[in-house]
Amino acid sequence: MSEKKIKVLIAKPGLDGHDRGAKVVATALKEAGMEVIYTGRFKRPEEIVDLALKEKVDVIGLSILSGTHMHWCREVMKRLKEAEANIPVVLGGIVLDEEIPILKNEVGIAEVFPPGSKLEDIVKCIERLARERKAG
């Protein structure tokens, strides 16, 4: 019996139009054998969380390059908490180094990938998060 594919939701919250990174990461995850849903742009946090729950994804990837990541990450995490959903969330985008510990420790983002991150590392991270989640 083959192992169930890892399912990932790549989402773009807010008004940011830069979707190059989101699409590149989505393609890399797909090539790595995962099932990927990409929401497209302009999604509200509740739409993202609803879709993640409906599709039963293992990991959510947010992509934000407009400097509004603190706001949107908090909103998404808040809604996940309200839904009592234990889905790890990773973030890719223009994030400052000093914001990374805040995002990870206070906001609850599992991992952050600033510009210059490697696809290989993103794939590995998502595989690990999905594995850890399954192991409970």
- Beta strands 89-93 and 59-64, pairing class: parallel
For other proteins, the closer of residues 54 and 118 by Cβ is: 118
For other proteins, the closer of residues 114 and 133 by Cβ is: 114
For other proteins, the closer of residues 19 and 133 by Cβ is: 19
**Residue 121 in 3-state DSSP?**
helix
For other proteins, the closer of residues 44 and 133 by Cβ is: 44
Smallest separation (angstroms) from other proteins to the CB of 32:
13
Q: Bin 40: left if φ > 0, else alpha if -120 < ψ < 50, else beta.
A: left
19 burial type by CB count under 10 A (0-12 exposed, 13-18 middle, 19+ buried): middle
Smallest separation (angstroms) from other proteins to the CB of 18:
7
Spatial separation of the C-alpha atoms in residues 68 and 133, rounded to whole Å: 28
Which residues here bind other proteins, judged by CB under 8 A?
14-20, 22-24, 26-28, 38-42, 44, 66-68, 71-72, 94, 96-97, 114-116, 118-120
